[in-house]
Chains A and B, each alone.
Chain A
Amino acid sequence: GAGVSQSPSNKVTEKGKDVELRCDPISGHTALYWYRQSLGQGLEFLIYFQGNSAPDKSGLPSDRFSAERTGGSVSTLTIQRTQQEDSAVYLCASSPGLGALYNSPLHFGNGTRLTVT
């Protein structure tokens, strides 16, 4: 697609429910990143995919968080048993990948605003 697309744009869920957030990166971008942005905080790195592999999952806040990527394209971030502290904007970004130049920026989607009540 023309840009990074995320859905839903807004999600309100009850504490304890599971949620799935979707990211569709720019066509041809092999690298995909998930970040979390809370009020007054910077972008917190969660996980990175190169193709379908996630070399580093250490940024995920707890084992309630998981992510997968299939076909080297769409990625899903799943949060199980949501807690109020999970409320944040979840941003996805993509870039051409490791073979690209260092000056290749990350291209961000508009994010999913998650509210846990």
Chain B
Amino acid sequence: GQNIDQPTEMTATEGAIVQINCTYQTSGFNGLFWYQQHAGEAPTFLSYNVLDGLEEKGRFSSFLSRSKGYSYLLLKELQMKDSASYLCAVRPPINQAGTALIFGKGTTLSVSS
């Protein structure tokens, strides 16, 4: 089966650091993606992890532990514009659905001043 879990909501203040966790149980694994989605807009790609460890991209970092089925997205120096939904998605091995991603329900982050 396929299951991806994320917290539903998180709140934080400007300038702070927030960590959004994602756990997954999937049949096979070919990488994990994080997307950002502002209300009413398209999801946009943030990061990709396929090997264990931390990938850093400016204020955003993403971590993966394949043995634990666990990832997190770390956002530093939070800004108001970071208020959005953050979607965790797993890419299964190539199958009939090609490379379609399996998404969690997303975490809505609210940043306050």
Contacts and interface: CB of A to CB of B under 8 A. Distances in A.
Interface residues of A, number: 30
B98 A50 contact: yes
A91 B99 contact: no
Interface of B: 4, 30-31, 33, 35, 40-45, 48, 50, 87, 89, 91, 94-106
A1 interface: no
Interface stretch (A12-20, A63-71, A77-85, A101-109): A101-109
A106 B87 CA distance: 13
Contacts, number: 69
Q: Is the interface of B mostly helix, strand, loop or mixed?
A: loop
27 contacts: A31-B99, A33-B98, A33-B100, A42-B4, A42-B103, A43-B103, A45-B97, A45-B102, A50-B98, A55-B96, A55-B97, A55-B98, A56-B96, A58-B96, A95-B99, A98-B98, A100-B99, A103-B50, A105-B35, A105-B45, A105-B48, A108-B42, A108-B43, A109-B42, A110-B40, A110-B41, A110-B42
Contact of A41 (B44, B48, B91, B105): B105
B42 A102 contact: no
Given A4-B42, A48-B98, A91-B43, A102 B50 contact: yes
Nearest to A34: B100
Contacts of B89: 43
Nearest to A46: B100
Contacts of A95: 99
Q: Is the interface of A mostly helix, strand, loop or mixed?
A: loop
A59 interface: yes
A50 B94 CA distance: 12
Contacts of B44: 108
B98 A102 contact: no
Nearest to A40: B105
